[in-house]
Structure 1
Amino acid sequence: MIKTLALAGASTLALSAAAMAADKTLTISVYSFAQDEFKELVYDPFEEICGCEIVVETGNSIERIAKIEANKDAPVIDMAVLSTHDALGAARKGLLQPIDVAKLSNHAKLYDIAKDPLGDNMGIGYTFYATSIVYRSDKVTVDSWADLLSPELAGNVAFPDITTNQGPPALYMLGKAMGETGADLTAPIEAVGEKADDIVTFYVRSSQLAQLMQQEEIWAAPVGRFAWGQFKDNGLPMAWATPAEGQTGGMNVMVMTANNGNEELALQFMDFWLSTEIQSALANALVDSPANAEVEVSDDIAANLTYGAETVSQLDLLAPATILDERESWLEQWNTKVVK
Structure 2
Amino acid sequence: MKRHLNPVSFAAVALCLAAGHAAAQDNTLRINSFGGAYETAHRKCVITPFEKETGAHVQVVTAYSADAFAQLRAQKNAPQFDVINFSGGQEIVAAAEGLLSPVDPKKLVNAADLYDFAKAGLAKGEGPAYSVAAIGMIYNQNSMRTPPASWKELMNPKLTPHLVLTDISNGYGMLGFLMLNKVEGGDLSNIQPGLNAVKKLLDGGATIVSTSPEIQQEFAQNAAWLAAYASDYAYTLTKANLPVKFTQGAEGTPASYITTNLVAKRPNQALALKFIDMSLSKNAQQCFATELRYSPTNAKAVLPADVAAGVAYGASGVKGLLRFDAPTIEANRSAWVEKWNKTIAKK
TM range (shorter): 0.7 to 0.9
Q: Tell me how far 1:57 sits from its aligned partner.
A: 0.6
Residue aligned with 2:322, SS? coil
Aligned pair in 2 of structure 1 residues 89, 202: CA closer, same or farther (>3 Å)? Answer: farther
Q: Tell me how far 1:123 sits from its aligned partner.
A: 1.8
Aligned equivalent of 2:175, options 128, 153, 169: 169
Aligned equivalent of 2:158, options 152, 155, 158: 152
Counting only pairs closer than 5 Å after superposition, residues 191-206 of structure 1 correspond to structure 2 as: 191-198=197-204, 200-206=206-212
Q: Tell me how far 1:306 sits from its aligned partner.
A: 2.5
Per the alignment, residue 25 of structure 1 pairs with 28
Aligned equivalent of 1:214, options 211, 220, 228: 220
In angstroms, what is the RMSD of aligned CA positions?
2.6
Per the alignment, residue 128 of structure 1 pairs with 132
Is 2:90 the partner of 1:61? Answer: no
Q: Could you tell me which amino acid in structure 1 is paired with residue 83 of structure 2?
A: M
Is 2:35 the partner of 1:35? Answer: no
Q: Could you tell me which amino acid in structure 2 is paired with residue 313 of structure 1?
A: K
Is 2:141 the partner of 1:137? Answer: yes
Residue aligned with 2:89, SS? helix
Deviating more after overlay: 120-129 vs 183-192 = 183-192
Deviation digits for residues 181-225 of structure 1 (CA, Å, limit 9, x no counterpart): 666322112221343344554333322211210113422111101
Aligned equivalent of 1:95, options 93, 99, 103: 99
Percent identical among aligned pairs is: 31
Large movers: runs of 4+ above 6 Å: none
Please say if residues 254 and 270 of structure 1, whose CA atoms lie closer than 8 Å, have aligned partners that are also in contact. yes
Please say if residues 127 and 291 of structure 1, whose CA atoms lie closer than 8 Å, have aligned partners that are also in contact. yes
Q: Distance in 1 between matches of 2:293 and 2:156?
A: 34
Counting only pairs closer than 5 Å after superposition, residues 150-299 of structure 1 correspond to structure 2 as: 150-180=156-186, 184-198=190-204, 200-232=206-238, 234-235=240-241, 237-286=243-292, 288-299=294-305
Q: TM-score, normalised by structure 1?
A: 0.84
Please say if residues 37 and 287 of structure 1, whose CA atoms lie closer than 8 Å, have aligned partners that are also in contact. no
Q: Could you tell me which amino acid in structure 2 is paired with residue 327 of structure 1?
A: R
Q: Could you tell me which amino acid in structure 1 is paired with residue 171 of structure 2?
A: N
Q: Tell me how far 1:244 sits from its aligned partner.
A: 3.7
* Matched pairs, number: 321
Q: TM-score, normalised by structure 2?
A: 0.82
Residue aligned with 1:102, SS? helix
Extract unaligned runs of 5+ from structure 1.
1-19
Residue aligned with 2:131, SS? strand
Q: Distance in 2 between matches of 1:288 and 1:237?
A: 20
Q: Could you tell me which amino acid in structure 2 is paired with residue 99 of structure 1?
A: V
Q: Distance in 2 between matches of 1:151 and 1:139?
A: 15
Q: Distance in 2 between matches of 1:105 and 1:48?
A: 18
Per the alignment, residue 6 of structure 1 pairs with none
Q: Tell me how far 1:267 sits from its aligned partner.
A: 0.7
Q: Tell me how far 1:109 sits from its aligned partner.
A: 0.7
Please say if residues 261 and 276 of structure 2, whose CA atoms lie closer than 8 Å, have aligned partners that are also in contact. no
Extract unaligned runs of 5+ from structure 2.
1-21
Larger of the two Rg values belongs to structure: 2
Please say if residues 128 and 249 of structure 1, whose CA atoms lie closer than 8 Å, have aligned partners that are also in contact. yes
Q: Could you tell me which amino acid in structure 1 is paired with residue 330 of structure 2?
A: L
